[in-house]
Amino acid sequence: MNIKKIILISAILILACLIIGAAYSIDSSSDVDGILKNVEDKFEQKTFNDSKTGLEIPYNIYLPDNYDKNKNYPLVVFIADSSLVGKGEKASLEQGLGGIIWANDSKNSKEECIVLVPTYSDVIIDDMQGNEKSEYLNATKNLIDNVSTSYSIDANRIYGTGQSMGGMTILYLASQYPDLFAAEMFVSCQWDINELSNLDSQKFFYIVSEGDQKASTGQKEVKQMLDNKSVKYEVLEGIDAQSGDNDNKINEMIGKNSNINFISFKQGTVTGNSTDNKMGAGEHMASFDYAYNLEPVRDWLFKQHK
CATH code, 151: 3.40.50.1820
Please report, for residues 87, 146, 186, 263, the alpha-carbon distance to residue 206 in angstroms, rounded to integers and kept in the order given.
Answer: 27, 27, 5, 6
Which residue range is the domain that position 220 belongs to? 3-302
Nearest-angstrom CA–CA distance, 273 and 71: 47
pLDDT at 2: 56
Instruction: Considering only residues 160 and 126, tell me which one the structure prediction assigns the higher pLDDT.
Output: 160
Q: What is the pLDDT of residues 93-152, one digit of tens each?
A: 998 999 999 999 888 878 899 999 999 999 999 987 778 899 999 999 999 999 999 999
What pTM did the predictor assign?
0.89
pLDDT at 149: 97
DSSP state of 300: H
Contacts of 143-148 with C-beta under 8 Å, sequence gap 24+, read 143/48, 143/50, 143/57, 143/59, 143/116, 143/118, 144/75, 144/77, 144/116, 144/180, 146/48, 147/48, 147/59, 147/61, 147/75, 147/114, 147/116, 148/75
Q: What are phi and psi of 171, to 5 degrees?
A: -55, -50
In angstroms, the first-to-last Cα distance of the chain is 38
Number of domains in the chain: 1
Please report, for residues 2, 100, 256, the alpha-carbon distance to residue 117 in angstroms, rounded to integers and kept in the order given.
Answer: 25, 9, 31
Q: What is the mean pLDDT of the chain?
A: 89
pLDDT at 292: 97
pLDDT at 28: 36
The half-sphere exposure of 282 on its side-chain side, counting CA atoms within 13 A, is: 19
Instruction: Please enumerate in sequence order all residues whose Cβ is within 8 A of that of 115, keeping only pairs 6 or more positions apart, or say none.
Output: 43, 60, 61, 62, 75, 76, 78, 99, 102, 103, 106
